[in-house]
Amino acid sequence: MLVRTFFCTRLGVHIAASVLTLALVIGTASAQTLSVGIEIPSQLDPAFASADSEILILSNVYDYLVEIDASNDVQPGLATSWSVSEDGRTWTFELRDDVTYHSGAAFGPDDVVATFDRLREPDSGLPTADVYADVTSVEASGPAQVTFTLSEPNPFFLYDLSDNHAVIVDADATDLGTTFDGTGPFRVASYNAEDRMSLEANADHFGGAPGVEQVDLIFFAEQAAAVSALRGGQIDLVLRMPTPLYQSLEGARGIERISVPTNAFDLLRLRVDRAPGNDPRVVEALKLAVDRASIVEVVTDGLAAQGSDTPIGPLYGAYYRQDVTPPARDVERARELLAEAGYEDGLELVLNVPDSGDRPDLAVVLKEQLDEAGFDIEVRLQPESVYYGDGGWLEVDFGITGWGSRPVPQFYFETMIACDAVWNEAHYCDPEVDALIETAGSTLDDDERAEAYAELQRILANDGPYVIPYFFPQFAALADTFTGMELKAFPGRTDLATITVR
């Protein structure tokens, strides 16, 4: 009976919340208002924000120094132009001189200095301290100019500057988590934590007035609830949803489904610094046991792009090598290799899986394929926050991890694959690979970098302890009374100002 009470209460709360949300939504809807269903933001200080919903608010209320567009090209933001010195270590940015914050205060180079000094403070423990570890100084070098000095050349510096956290804040701002004085296309009109946030258009924005006068961000605890609200016409836009919800919207009246390919991927990896992963035959058997095409078909319903066990996907254009593929599936050979390695009776492994996205499905399909090839897999699902939260994911022998989309591939190599990478979950370490990563991350010669990446792809596809079966797309849905949205691979970076009433 206690059990039943628990569920009744929970259900009651959900129903009450839904009714409340519905009432509020109907109360304020108008043609010039775009209502967006997002997850509940919990941390809105730019230095700490990380979830899509949080970044969505920041990127629309504030501006970045430079922007990355949907095709991964760098575009002007608060900086209109930039130049880099011959040695690649001094970057100079010309800033807009006619920009004001929503409060009326003027924007200037001191704000840029203050923003990046805060984010790169080594003792702050901020995730960005690592990103900007190569920045030795940020200085206001003119009335509308800032200069960054680096300790070594960084070909991806512009992408680092457009890191999700790096929105430019007023140097005098206090209480960044609760007051939002940005320069962006929208200003915060009202904010009720855990309920909604109302944004109104900033007609003076340097990018031009936004397409709608008002944006209501309605907070939903579950994406399924947001999609139901979209179906019912109570909201106009949902920026992210799992595959089945996207599929369920097929043919839904008045709703346009939008998907963009991304470089986000699910990764299966085996820890190689101890048994059984330290035997190369086991790694080879693992790679031979997997049928990647079938996984794409079954797990993602054919909507994802097939991967080749490397983090460089088709989106990276020139860096991506289509001709590099992992060995084709060979169940017999995998069995032989496992037998040679001493596991003729089956290699027992616990597969650790965060319970989000398509990962549970991926685990079940992988178990079928691997068991067929002489493995004996036990699937263990864990809540995503628990799995990543306590560092357990870096300890386990065998696991699935979801990696988000990044505009440049270097991120994955430096944080996941290099010997000293912070998130080296496979505990992989290969000096040759490390040298290639170093080359790719420091050379200013793009051909040399492409060659390093090509070699990295060859090594990882054949011998890396990773299986990357697919790069999954990002799904959104917009009421067809609106148009003009450009969904980004990281949906939180989508610019709501481009959306207009149809």
Partner 1 sequence: MTTPGGGGAATAAPPAQPAPLAGARHLLGELYARPTSAIGTTLVALFVAMALIGPWLAPYGPTEQILSDRSQAPGAAHWFGTDRLGRDVFSRVVTGARDIFLLAGGGTAVAVAIGTVAGLVTSTLGGWWEEITFRLFDTLLAMPALLLALLLLGTLGPSRSSVLWVIAVAYTPIVARVVRSVVLSVKTREWVAAARMQGETLPWILTREILPSVLPALAVEAALRFSYAIFLVASLGFLGVGVQPPNPDWGLMVAEARDYVYLTPWSLIFPAAAISLLVVSVNLAADGLGRALRTEGR
383, 385, 392, 480: which one binds partner 1 (CB under 8 A):
383
| Contact call for residues 80 and 115 (beta carbons, < 8 A) | no
Of residues 118 through 177, those in contact with partner 1 by CB under 8 A are none
The maximal CA–CA distance of the chain, rounded, in angstroms, is 74
State the minimum distance, in angstroms, from the CB of residue 403 to partner 1. 22
Integer Cα distance of 308 and 292 in angstroms: 8
**What single-letter amino acid sits at 222?**
E
Q: Does 303 bind partner 1 (CB under 8 A)?
A: no
State the minimum distance, in angstroms, from the CB of residue 325 to partner 1. 21
Nearest to 407 by CA among 36, 145, 64, 177: 64
Per-residue burial over 77-90, b if 16 or more Cβ lie within 10 Å, else e, is: bbbeebebeeebbe
Of residues 218 through 237, those in contact with partner 1 by CB under 8 A are 224
Nearest to 112 by CA among 149, 151, 150, 161: 161
Token pair, residue 184, equals 């962006």
**Which residue intervals of 272-413 are DSSP H helices?**
280-289, 292-299, 331-340, 359-372, 384-389, 410-412
114, 173, 365, 456: which one binds partner 1 (CB under 8 A):
365
Binding mask 338-357 for partner 1 (x = CB under 8 A): -----------------x--
Integer Cα distance of 341 and 263 in angstroms: 35
State the minimum distance, in angstroms, from the CB of residue 360 to partner 1. 6
297, 430, 438, 463: which one binds partner 1 (CB under 8 A):
297
Of residues 72 through 91, those in contact with partner 1 by CB under 8 A are none
- Please report the DSSP string for 283-311 in residue order: HHHHHHH--HHHHHHHHSTT-SEEP-SSS
State the minimum distance, in angstroms, from the CB of residue 499 to partner 1. 26
- C-beta closer to partner 1: residue 344 or 376: 376
- C-beta closer to partner 1: residue 121 or 384: 384
Q: How many residues bind partner 1 (CB under 8 A)?
A: 30
State the minimum distance, in angstroms, from the CB of residue 488 to partner 1. 23
State the minimum distance, in angstroms, from the CB of residue 242 to partner 1. 6
Cross-strand bridge partners of residue 200: 187, 214
What is the DSSP secondary structure assignment for residue 425, as one 8-state letter? T
State the minimum distance, in angstroms, from the CB of residue 299 to partner 1. 8
Nearest to 41 by CA among 33, 28, 31, 50: 50
Integer Cα distance of 161 and 66 in angstroms: 7
Residues near 303 by beta carbon (within 8 Å), at least 6 away in sequence: 243, 259, 472, 473
What is the DSSP secondary structure assignment for residue 117, as one 8-state letter? H
State the minimum distance, in angstroms, from the CB of residue 480 to partner 1. 19
- Please report the DSSP string for 159-189 in residue order: HHHT-TT-B---TT---TTT-----SSEEEE
165, 269, 321, 367: which one binds partner 1 (CB under 8 A):
367
**What single-letter amino acid sits at 427?**
H
Binding segment toward partner 1, per CB under 8 A, in 63-71, 79-87, 274-282, 376-384 = 376-384
**Half-sphere exposure in the Cβ direction for 178 (13 Å, CA):** 4
Binding segment toward partner 1, per CB under 8 A, in 36-44, 267-275, 380-388, 403-411 = 380-388
Phi, psi of 83 (to 5 degrees): -145, 155
- C-beta closer to partner 1: residue 336 or 361: 361
State the minimum distance, in angstroms, from the CB of residue 369 to partner 1. 9
- C-beta closer to partner 1: residue 246 or 320: 246
Token pair, residue 326, equals 């992992």
- 10 Å Cβ neighbour count for 28? 12
- 10 Å Cβ neighbour count for 221? 14
Binding segment toward partner 1, per CB under 8 A, in 182-190, 271-279, 363-371, 454-462 = 363-371
Binding segment toward partner 1, per CB under 8 A, in 22-30, 144-152, 378-386, 388-396 = 378-386
Of residues 235 through 294, those in contact with partner 1 by CB under 8 A are 242, 244-245, 247-248, 294
379, 396, 429, 454: which one binds partner 1 (CB under 8 A):
379
- C-beta closer to partner 1: residue 73 or 390: 390
Nearest to 41 by CA among 169, 199, 177: 177
Binding segment toward partner 1, per CB under 8 A, in 207-215, 267-275, 359-367, 434-442 = 359-367
Binding segment toward partner 1, per CB under 8 A, in 278-286, 361-369, 400-408, 460-468 = 361-369
Q: Which residues bind partner 1 (CB under 8 A)?
A: 1-7, 224, 242, 244-245, 247-248, 294, 297-298, 301, 355, 360-361, 363-365, 367-368, 378-381, 383
